[in-house]
Structure 1
Amino acid sequence: MKPFVDIVKFIVPFAVGIGILWWMYRGNDWSATYQMLTSMHWGWMLLSLAFGIVPPVFRALRWRLALRPLDEHPPLRVCTDAIFVSYAASLVVPRIGEVTRCGTLKTYAGTSFSQALGTVVSERVVDSVLLVLLTVGAALLQLPQYLHFLHTTGAAPLQLLQHFTSAGYLVTAVCALLALGFLALLVARMSFFRRGREKMVSFMAGIASLRRVRPLWAYLLYSIGIWAGYYLHFYLAFFAFPATASVDPAAALLAFCIGSFAVLVPTPNGAGPWHFAVKTVLVLYGLAEAPVVAFVLLVHTIQTALVVLTGAWGWADLLLIKKQSKTATL
């Protein structure tokens, strides 16, 4: 029975992602998408990709700070490689990344798995708080424009929902249910840590280590830098396409925040839910749907390719570290 459940847990995220993508692109003009790709400004896209590498490095620096109070001192190189590999692993099995990077750190740096996982949980709490604050800030920044739009057009707020089709509501409901289901599964799996008191103590010590992080300002600065990097990774991609180059930074910030929440749905790299969420926000801001649909597809595909490449780099570097370690012991 367990192998069947594991297979279902592996297939369902892919099926949901593919289903949403099929629904969004079933009538797509692929020649227009190809034309948009060939007209892309690679200078802007490469700059966007450069900022895509910044958050994992900041995340590695922040992780080392969180591990220091636990008397764990893994090399920055190993931490960075572990995060690169974890992102790539999540493309195959959604949400496996946290476990993967802690296991990698244990294998290549001898760090306690339970303590490392505890610090990752602390990271998720901090990141969630920052994302909520960022979303509220983005919404407040757009409030004057939103009120001006309602005053100018005389439209009621509920009329904006008319842009949603019945299928759009269905996709939103499915994504919400999957996100809730994943959270419920995560809570249920916490029983894993009850198998041994020692593991549970180590896990809780990892969570509590945040109170002893020094310097705390550096931890917070890295956290802010992570989200700033992710935002620039997303926003600079708009300039790569003539159809989206005029998007307002605040509007892009709101689309970025909504897309970040959509990634909570356990599909590979948010494929499907992210496309739908970002497309919906940008269309509500008045952008033509055809170029926006092409934009989200191209940007997500290119950014996913970056995740694969950095994951391969991290894996190759870890193998090199292992080889160097064996050579040093001879």
Structure 2
Amino acid sequence: MKKQLRKWLTILIPLLIGIGIIYYQFTTLTSEEIAKIKVSFQKANYNYILLTLVIACIGYWSRAYRWKFALNHLGYQTKFHNNFFTVCVSYLVNLTVPRSGEISRAALLKKYEDVPFDKAFGTIVAERIVDFLVFLLFVFIGFVSQYNTIYQFLIDKKVPIKSLIYIGIAGIVMMIIFILIWIYAEWKIIKKLKKKLSGLMEGMTTIYKMKDRWKYVFHSFFIWFSYLLMFYVAKFALPETSEISFDIIIMGFVFGSLAIGFSNGGLGAFPFSIALIFSLYGISNNIGTAFGWLVWTSQTILTLLLGLISYVLLPILNRNK
């Protein structure tokens, strides 16, 4: 009973957060602004949106191709189509419970390629660590280039900046302490955890040992470059956003990426964050909202289509296994 309740809560809470954000966003818009958003959708140049979907597919391909380097290092020669389809299904699953797609991805690879779950999941965790580091680079570039704008925004909103700095420092210190304890501690509980997580750790450490590590790193940057390019190309879909500068785009990209984790696939949170960031640069609320929903809706439709098609094709292409 508790397990079922926990399962439903992990689905419903992010969903309710997303619905709550949507409700808040549209109740703060005037009827005139809502009418302008509808006009923006009608007048949008969907050729650019289609181009963003092509770029997104290339990013999917790159993620699946990157995965093979880690799996090959562990001694598993998997079929590329299985890698690609499991990646697509994982994106689909993430729309229900944030980050649950990683588990389904490892489980599907175990089913169709007989790669041990813990090792496959370890390679996925390693991917997420690398992705996080690359994303931090984008965050650093964005915040450094837009320091004055962000600082003024925090001041205007009376955000306690010193408290944020202290929290950040405390988090870094705790992370360092945890890493040191994990590496050097001889406690029984640590040894037991290391033994149980040996397969997971082997998968996570593949990056440091694999011979194709630089190809792996290249694809890691390429994946995030495709995400950014996708976001950049989308700006040409609306006349009002076609002339905005790259620094605005990168800030929208950073905050939009962060917002995806707040709800199911960024439901409500992604468009809201885009509108908020764009408003800092004088872009009207209705245009920022229209742009955010245009990008989010198109990418979500692609995720649904690719995920469902992949889910159907996986058993068909592996029926003789």
Q: The TM-score by the shorter chain falls in which range? A: 0.7 to 0.9
* Number of the residue aligned with 1:296: 292
Contact 1:160 1:284 in 2 (8 A): no
Moved more, 301-310 or 269-278: 269-278
Moved more, 29-38 or 65-74: 29-38
- Structure 2: distance between partners of 1:272 and 1:165: 25
Please say if 1:222 is aligned against 2:226: no
SS at match of 1:292: helix
Please say if 1:202 is aligned against 2:206: no
Contact 1:258 1:277 in 2 (8 A): yes
CA deviations on 1:264-321 (whole Å, 9 max, x unpaired) are: 32x1112232222222111101111111112212221111111101112211221321
* Number of the residue aligned with 2:315: 319
SS at match of 2:318: helix
- Structure 2: distance between partners of 1:60 and 1:223: 11
Contact 2:275 2:287 in 1 (8 A): no
Please say if 1:271 is aligned against 2:271: no
SS at match of 1:60: helix
TM-score normalised per structure 1: 0.81
* Number of the residue aligned with 2:233: 236
Please say if 1:25 is aligned against 2:22: no
Please say if 1:114 is aligned against 2:118: yes
* Number of the residue aligned with 1:286: 282
Q: How far 1:74 sits from its partner (Å)?
A: 1.0
- Structure 2: distance between partners of 1:80 and 1:142: 36
Q: How far 1:159 sits from its partner (Å)?
A: 5.9
Q: How far 1:2 sits from its partner (Å)?
A: 2.7
- Structure 1: distance between partners of 2:56 and 2:270: 17
* Number of the residue aligned with 2:14: 13
* Number of the residue aligned with 1:152: none
SS at match of 1:92: coil
CA RMSD of aligned residues (A): 2.8
TM-score normalised per structure 2: 0.83
Contact 1:44 1:236 in 2 (8 A): yes
Structure 1 gaps, min length 5: 150-155, 174-179, 181-186, 188-193
**Residues 286 and 160 of structure 1, relative CA distance in 2, 3 Å threshold:** farther
Letter in 2 for 1:234: F
Match of 2:98 among 79, 94, 106: 94
Contact 1:48 1:233 in 2 (8 A): yes
Contact 1:114 1:199 in 2 (8 A): no
- Structure 2: distance between partners of 1:196 and 1:141: 42
Q: How far 1:238 sits from its partner (Å)?
A: 0.9
Contact 2:71 2:77 in 1 (8 A): yes
Q: How far 1:66 sits from its partner (Å)?
A: 0.9
Contact 1:263 1:270 in 2 (8 A): yes
